């Protein structure tokens, strides 16, 4: 892991107390922390985020072609957009309590969801794209016609994804995943997975997975190729069948050909083994080895109320200071950290860089070189400085520091909360940087 000469990266934003930004107007409603939101729109671009307020927030209303109809009460709000729903420019932003339930019915459009940890997130959409990150509800269901589905992390208990012709890409940690597609390509890069059920008619399927002990991985295809990659030395029980396609496995075993031309591979048995069961009619089946990735632990220091904040008496609000800091790999956001949180990521050995960014600030990136399958740790810390302007019109510099540090022990890490789709309990005492990751 290569870092800049000062071994950290900084990002800054200047906020002038004497020149506040124009205020935007939002529609707000009181909402129970465990309430439910139903959103319906024929089209448009929507950014939905969980927050720590007991309110539903929709807007900005300026620029909306038509305000939505909001009905219901604090336990269940319905937000319905007429046609067209799209703002004149930019996305419609919706905030709701992070432990609330969310249902979205979107015809065509772009949908981004983050920061939700409630009992259910359900999405139905036609075309466009759906991006979900930094969220870990108990259950996550997404159905689409040809929308591209991009997920960073799975639900706590169950994730179901279905698409006719859209691309499906999932990366992160999770236990149980069901995928159904007709012809769309599927790319999965998962860890800590215990149950996978995948069905495809003709789309290409590529799965890279670090399964849990005793996991069950099943996939069926008619004509699309099935490629499964697992860490070397993973104890497997393989059951693979192809009527007219080929079968190959890097984990051993002999492929047998029957009288009708069917090919079969049955290999490995025993307690604790991972069951890999693959079936195809005309497509090929390939089971490959790969080197396990590195692990990355990122933690964000809690905020402290200091004199710098008090001196910026003229600043009406400081959204950047309390905003989540997103962390990702090679341009893809994988988690969002609030103050006092930590998260764990898998870092593939061929990664180019790990980045952090916060709303209003320039993203910073650390280059990855000579990466090994070890544990690397990073700290995020908010920075504040008074920069000129005097007491009459002080200027506050807001920023954050992204620094590679020695890995914290279990006692220190227990003071932080895990992020939504990270481990649900504080990690065991992590090894120091340079030690083998589990």
pLDDT at res. 11: 56
Give the C-alpha separation, 384 to 29, whole Å. 33
Give the C-alpha separation, 151 to 172, whole Å. 8
Chain-centre distance for alpha carbon 82: 30
pLDDT interval class at 429 (50, 70, 90): very low
pLDDT, greater one: 164 or 352: 164
* Percentage of the chain modeled with pLDDT above 90: 46
Q: Give the sign of the dihedral formed by CA 330, CA 380, CA 420, CA 108.
A: negative
Helix (H, G, I), strand (E, B) or coil at 7: coil
- Write out pLDDT tens, residues 338-357: 889 998 888 877 788 888 98
CB 147 within 8 A of CB 81: no
pLDDT, greater one: 275 or 324: 275
In CATH terms, 8-13+293-418 corresponds, of 1.10.10, 1.10.260, 1.10.357, 2.60.40, to 2.60.40
Helix (H, G, I), strand (E, B) or coil at 410: helix
Task: Determine which of 216-220, 283-287, 421-425 has the lowest per-residue pLDDT on average.
Answer: 421-425
pLDDT at res. 127: 94
Tell me the sheet residues that pair with 116.
none
Tell me the sheet residues that pair with 315.
none
pLDDT interval class at 397 (50, 70, 90): low
pLDDT, greater one: 305 or 436: 305
Is this model's pTM higher than 0.75 or not? no
Give the C-alpha separation, 93 to 51, whole Å. 12
**Which is it for strands 8-16 and 395-405: parallel, antiparallel or unpaired?**
antiparallel
Q: Mean pLDDT across the stretch 7-19?
A: 46
Give the C-alpha separation, 176 to 153, whole Å. 11
DSSP H or E segment with residue 39: strand 36-51
CB 59 within 8 A of CB 27: yes
Residue 262: which of 279, 286, 249, 276 has the closest Cα? Answer: 279
Residue 419: which of 345, 314, 313, 350 has the closest Cα? Answer: 345
Task: Determine which of 8-22, 35-49, 163-177, 312-326 has the lowest per-residue pLDDT on average.
Answer: 8-22
Question: What burial letters (b/e) apply to 38-63, b meaning 16+ CB within 10 Å?
Answer: bbbbbbbbbbbbbbeeeebbbbbeee
Contacts of 42 by beta carbon, 8 Å cutoff, 6+ apart: 81, 82, 83, 84, 85, 106, 107, 108
pLDDT at res. 292: 77
Q: Structural domain boundaries of the chain?
A: 8-13+293-418
Give the C-alpha separation, 152 to 101, whole Å. 19
pLDDT, greater one: 152 or 195: 195
Q: What is the dihedral angle through the alpha carbons of 136, 48, 209, 427, rounded to the nearest 10 degrees?
A: -40
Give the C-alpha separation, 181 to 50, whole Å. 29
């Amino acid at each position: 892991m290569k870092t800049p000469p000062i071994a950290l990266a900084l990002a800054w934003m200047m906020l002038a107390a004497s020149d506040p930004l124009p205020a935007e107007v939002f529609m707000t409603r009181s909402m129970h922390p465990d309430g439910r939101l139903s959103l319906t729109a024929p089209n448009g671009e929507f950014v939905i985020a969980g927050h720590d307020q007991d309110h539903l927030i929709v807007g900005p209303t300026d620029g909306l072609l038509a305000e939505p109809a909001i009905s219901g009460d604090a336990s269940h709000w319905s937000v319905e957009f007429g046609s067209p729903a799209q703002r004149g420019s930019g996305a419609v932003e919706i905030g709701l309590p992070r432990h609330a339930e969310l249902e979205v019915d979107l015809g065509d459009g772009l949908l981004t969801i983050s920061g939700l940890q409630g009992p259910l997130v359900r999405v139905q959409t036609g075309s466009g794209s759906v991006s979900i990150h930094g969220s870990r509800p108990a259950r996550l269901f997404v159905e689409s016609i040809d929308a591209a589905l991009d997920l960073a992390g799975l639900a706590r208990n169950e994730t179901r994804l279905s698409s006719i012709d859209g691309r499906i890409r999932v990366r992160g940690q999770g236990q149980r995943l069901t995928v159904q597609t007709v012809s769309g390509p599927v790319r999965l890069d998962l860890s800590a997975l215990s149950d996978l059920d995948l069905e495809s008619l003709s789309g290409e399927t590529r799965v890279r997975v670090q399964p849990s002990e005793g996991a069950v991985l099943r996939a069926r295809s008619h004509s699309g190729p099935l490629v499964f990659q697992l860490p070397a030395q993973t104890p497997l029980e393989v059951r693979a069948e192809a009527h007219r396609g080929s079968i190959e496995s890097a984990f051993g075993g002999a492929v047998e050909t029957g009288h009708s031309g069917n090919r079969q591979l049955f290999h490995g048995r025993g307690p604790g083994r991972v069951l890999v069961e693959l079936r195809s009619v005309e497509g090929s089946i390939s089971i490959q080895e790969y080197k396990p990735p590195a692990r990355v632990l990122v933690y964000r220091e809690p905020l402290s109320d200091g004199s710098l904040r008090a001196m910026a008496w003229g600043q009406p609000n400081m959204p950047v200071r309390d905003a989540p800091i997103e962390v990702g790999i090679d341009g893809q956001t994988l988690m969002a950290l609030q103050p006092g949180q930590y998260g764990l990521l898998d870092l593939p050995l061929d990664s180019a860089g790990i980045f952090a960014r916060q709303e209003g600030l320039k993203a910073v990136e650390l280059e990855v070189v000579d990466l090994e399958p070890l544990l690397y740790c990073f700290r995020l810390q908010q920075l504040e400085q008074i920069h000129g302007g005097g007491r009459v019109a002080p200027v506050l510099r807001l920023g954050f520091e992204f620094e590679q540090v020695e890995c914290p022990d279990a006692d220190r890490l227990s003071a932080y909360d895990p992020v939504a789709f990270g481990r649900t309990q504080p990690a065991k005492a992590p090894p120091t940087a340079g030690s083998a990751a589990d």
